[in-house]
Amino acid sequence: IFRRELLYANAFLVPLPINHQHHQMRKVLVLDLDETLIHAYRFQSPRYEVNVNMPPDFFVTINRDRYCVHRRPYVDFFLDTVSRWYKLVVFTAATEEYGQGVMKHLDGGRNILNTLYHRKNLTFLNGVKTKGFFNTDHRQRSLHSFILNPDNAIPIKSWYLDSMDAALVDLLPMLDCLLFTQDVRSVLSRRRQTFINMLTKTNPSSTTIILKVRS
């Protein structure tokens, strides 16, 4: 597998100062699962194709269904890095069993992915499943439509097995800066047009509309 050289070095990542931890609540970073962190498909489904150059990284079996799961390039480096900065939450529009199965593999015993919101935690808006964000205590605060909260979102390109992809690494400088921003909307609202362009060019139900950060 050939991948783009990783240029974002550890030396440029800002560590979280101890005094900062004491004086500011840790922000929550909510990560979409499918087409953001991983790409998955049912084994021997119409989408299933044997690719000897990029075999699945692992399999998840739910009842009688077996899913082939690919990790997005640099996902482990990304999760290791942002877990030092934020409290991580994963969400998926799929079932809890599927989400937990994938999340367990991604966590790999590091104990950084412990909270999952799944199909039953999502509400409908005009017939479309919508995602919500939650407070740092992980009690359900309210389920907001992602579409109605673009100022808390960071758009990212959906991933479909591009081995040269480095979108997760490209997000790190922004997430680094947001770490010390009192209100992330003051920064992310400037990217609203990018978010709108992604929705108008792609079906919103399949577009990866990604990361929410909240104090």
CA distance 67 to 76: 20
Centre a 10 Å sphere on the Cβ of residue 125 and count the other Cβ atoms it contains: 14
Q: Which of 34, 65, 80, 183 is catalytic?
A: 34
CA distance 109 to 4: 27
- Residue 165 annotated to the active site: no
Query: Judging by beta carbons within 10 Å of its beta carbon (0-12, 13-18, 19+), is residue 67 exposed, middle or buried?
Result: buried
At 107, the amino acid letter reads: D
Look at phi and psi of residue 109 and say left if phi exceeds 0, alpha if psi is from -120 to 50, else beta.
Answer: left
Beta strands 28-32; 65-71: pairing state: unpaired
CA distance 45 to 68: 10
- Residue 34 annotated to the active site: yes
Centre a 10 Å sphere on the Cβ of residue 174 and count the other Cβ atoms it contains: 16
CA distance 174 to 195: 15
Would you name the residues annotated as active-site residues? 32, 34
